[in-house]
Amino acid sequence: MSSGALFWPISLGLAGFWAMVILTVLVLPITFFSHQAYARFVQTATATTGKEGNLIDAAEEHLGVRWAKWLTFVYFITVFPAMMVYTITITNTLIDFFNTQLHLGILPRVVVAPLVVVMLLAVVQFNTTVTVKVMGFIVVPFIASLVFFGAMAAPSWNLSVLQTASNFGGVTGLMSSVWVSLPVAIYAMGFTTVVSSMVVAQKRVYGEVASKKVSSILLVAVILIFVTVVFFAWSCIFALSPQELAEAKANNLTALSYLARKFDNPLLATASQLIVFLATIKAFLAHFIATKESAKGFASTCLNCSPAVIHGKGLQRVLTLFIFVVTTLPAILNWNVLNLIQIIMVPASVFMAYFLPQYACYRIPALHQYRGKATGWFVMIVGTIVLINGVVAVLKL
């Protein structure tokens, strides 16, 4: 589950009531069918000596080395920008916490942002096993906290969002609202970064019959994420007025950080900020691991670096310095998180999850049975909409 779930209530609530309903209905099939197609493509890879049968292996085996190189590059540029979102979020959460909860004034962003990134990079200097354990320790409390704070927001529910039900700009205004909010909805529900490793693990255990097991796992995961995130999002929206949602967006804060201001109990307010902090750390760690692995793949397949260089400390230091620069500057400048998701992150990721698997259905014999399916066209149409959305957003800057 992406920490984008913490930002989705803002995007969803500002879309208006009827757009909220449409997006909520659409996001479940969009998430399941796209992730299912993505998993099916990974399943076609053959695990051999030196290859575990992951996404890149599937591309190289069935589509050729050039495809594998291109996919490695795309995967790299897809995962590392996400870390910008997380360093911005942690920086803003800390500044808001010290200001609104501890009443110590607004801390200088130019000091907080570098310190945040240094602390995050210090954590990921441990080996991958330790990092994964830290992530595993955080993920369950994060899911539980969304349900908990969604329930705690219930006493503050009001009907102000229903005012948008009668003044939504007609069909044109409604479609425009859905259009603008769709990328954030996809991001909030997405978990493509873990699908490849999950499929590899299931193939090791179940072999040729892993496909049914993978589909079952995906269905349960998507339903669990859907129920949790939708409940949290709708509860936040009904607890905050449209004006408060707009202010949260303007301040570049998560819905939970803004909701903390409405809790009379200081302990709850502090806990909600802590959850944002921990959830964002989890997401940063996950994307750092993905970035590190994709950087190694990029160095190997695209730059033809030797194994000594790929696994040496030099590449690790260069990557760490690179991440420090590209994640600290956006946090200092306080780039808008929702704009980053709409313009960079989702359009880059839909290539792998929405287009590549559908193209593979026409190239890989094992996937021919899925050619021309209505679900495939549905995923392609959504992916196209998101790409156009990102281009239009860039042109408006």
Q: How far is it, in rounded angstroms, from Cα 55 to Cα 58? A: 5
Two tokens, residue 365? 């014999």
Give the three-state DSSP class for 51.
Answer: strand
Could you list the residue range(s) of the whole structural domain that residue 152 is in? 3-395
b/e burial code for range 208-237 (CB count within 10 A of at least 16 → b): eebbeebbebbeebbeebbebbbebbbbbb
The residue behind tokens 């441990």 is 126
Q: What's residue 57's pLDDT? A: 80
Q: Which of 348, 297, 50, 29 is nearest to 183 (CA)?
A: 348
Sign for the pseudo-dihedral over CA of 121, 117, 228, 378: negative
pLDDT tens digits, residue range 117-165?
998 888 777 655 555 566 566 667 778 888 888 898 888 899 898 888 8
Task: Find tokens 């959830």 and name the residue.
Answer: 279
What would the two tokens of residue 309 be? Answer: 């260089």
140 is written with which tokens? Answer: 């369950």
For 270, how many CA atoms within 13 A lie in the half-sphere containing its CB? 7
Q: Which residues, given as ranges, of the chain have pLDDT below 50?
A: none
Answer positive or negative: Cα dihedral of 129, 349, 37, 356. negative
Q: What is the pLDDT of residue 115?
A: 94
Token pair of 286 as six digits:
């996950």
The confidence score (pLDDT) of residue 318 equals: 84
pLDDT at residue 234, as a whole number: 96
Looking at the 3D structure of the chain, how many domains does it have? 1
pLDDT tens, position by position, 11-68? 999 999 999 999 999 999 999 999 999 999 988 888 665 566 777 788 888 888 888 7
Instruction: Residue 101: give its domain's CATH number.
Output: 1.20.1740.10
DSSP 8-state secondary structure symbol assigned to residue 354: I
